[in-house]
Structure 1
Amino acid sequence: MTPYVLTVDAGVRDLRAADHLFHALAAELALPEGAFGCTHLVRGERPRVAVSLALPSSPLLRTARERLAARGHEVADGVPDAVGRAVIYPGVASLTGTLTIAELLARSAIDRVTVLGTPGRPLPGTAMVTRDHVRPQWQDGTLVLTAMPAAGGTLVPFEVPDPTPCCADH
């Protein structure tokens, strides 16, 4: 990642709202292809989801900081933790439909794919049904996508695009 990083606390309480915020920020700031945008769960007295932006240049960082502060967002340098969930990253727009693991890795900044319940890595030719929602996480400085087995020997990203909220039927 780049040293030009800032964290935005917009008071968002869930991942879906944070994703929407990211897409709005990416459009407003015209983020370049090399940018990374991650969500971070903030625990404590006021649980929320903060977002971090890693940008490829200092001038872009200054512009982003000024625009975000002008919108009333709390902005700080750095990241709140090292395990952010990537929403914006190089190649994310090309991860649609069904791809092989090799294609997914070649098209994006994702470094590795792991599969729940299996000790090794999936074979490069294994099909990944992206559901157009691929959210890897930083693990020890590496962008890792966690997947799970699906029908027909395919894989799907562990995180589903539209999760059912807890207690939705109550």
Structure 2
Amino acid sequence: MTEQHEAPGVHSVIGVDAGTATLREADHLIHDLVDRLDLPPGTIACTHLIRTAERRGTAISLAAPDDAAADAAWGSLAALAAREMSAAGAVLGERLYGPAESARAAALAAAEHVHRRCGRAVVFPGVHHLTGTVTVAEVLTRTVIDRVTVLGTPSTGGPGPDPATPVLTRDHVRPEWRDGQLLLALVPAAGGALAPFEVPNPTPCCADHA
């Protein structure tokens, strides 16, 4: 028995390790799989750093909005992997696919997402609203991001930055799971605005997927 299999949502979160090394590669993999597996609106897809004795790189997790959508995506993923990703590992609940080493990394990613303790979100509901300049209020009301924080400012547990503060998204917004909440870290920018802590490197990933 593992804690992973008892957690709510475990049967709707797919973990995948396709050997990606960098966050940028993992971002591309997420966009590719979300499109090719026809994952529905409501999907949250994250990257996860894997640092084990046998694997150092980046795996991903795909959280479908319900078990039925996850089951459909799992069937499509298995067929895709058999054709094009022979070394990839994947996990959905107690179902495993691929080499043991890759499947273990995929399971780590899935477990982190299930428990919402870690994971950098690339695809999430409302992300399409986060282009150009928006306000803090729009970040919180038009997406599933739960909270924003400004790095370098005292953490007082208060309401956070002024809701009217502009956020320069740079079309690249990557909130992270922290203690069960999707948290977006911001930093001060020119003119009293804020911007996401993570800077596009060198340009926003997967512009062709927009």
TM-score greater than 0.5 by the shorter chain: yes
CA shift for structure 1 position 69: 2.1
More helix by share: 2
Partner Cα separation in structure 2 for residue 97 and residue 30 of structure 1 = 27
Q: Which has the higher strand share?
A: 1
Structure 1 residues not aligned, in runs of 5+: 165-170
User: Is the aligned partner of 1:35 residue 2:43?
Assistant: yes
Match among 136, 153, 156 for residue 192 of structure 2: 153
Amino acid at match of 2:120: R
Q: Which runs of 5+ in 2 are unaligned?
A: 1-7, 82-87, 94-109, 204-210
Q: What CA distance in whole angstroms lies between the structure 1 residues aligned with 2:175 and 2:202?
A: 16
Deviations 1:98-144 (A, max 9, x none): 01100111110001100110025211111100000000000011000
**For residues 66 and 19 of structure 2, what CA distance do their matches in structure 1 show?**
26
2:74 aligns with 65
Q: Show structure 1 runs of 4+ deviating over 4 A.
A: none
Residue identity (%): 54
CA RMSD, Structure 1 to Structure 2 (Å): 1.7
Structure 1 residue 32 displacement after superposition = 1.6
User: How many correspondences in the alignment?
Assistant: 164
- Residues 129-140 of structure 1: matches in 2 within 5 Å? 129-140=168-179
Contact residue 114 and residue 147 of structure 1 kept, 8 A: yes
Instruction: Choose from 65, 85, 89 the match for 1:74.
Output: 89
Task: Specify the alignment match of 1:113 in structure 2.
Answer: 148
Following the alignment from structure 2 to structure 1, what is the Cα–Cα distance between the partners of residues 120 and 143? 15
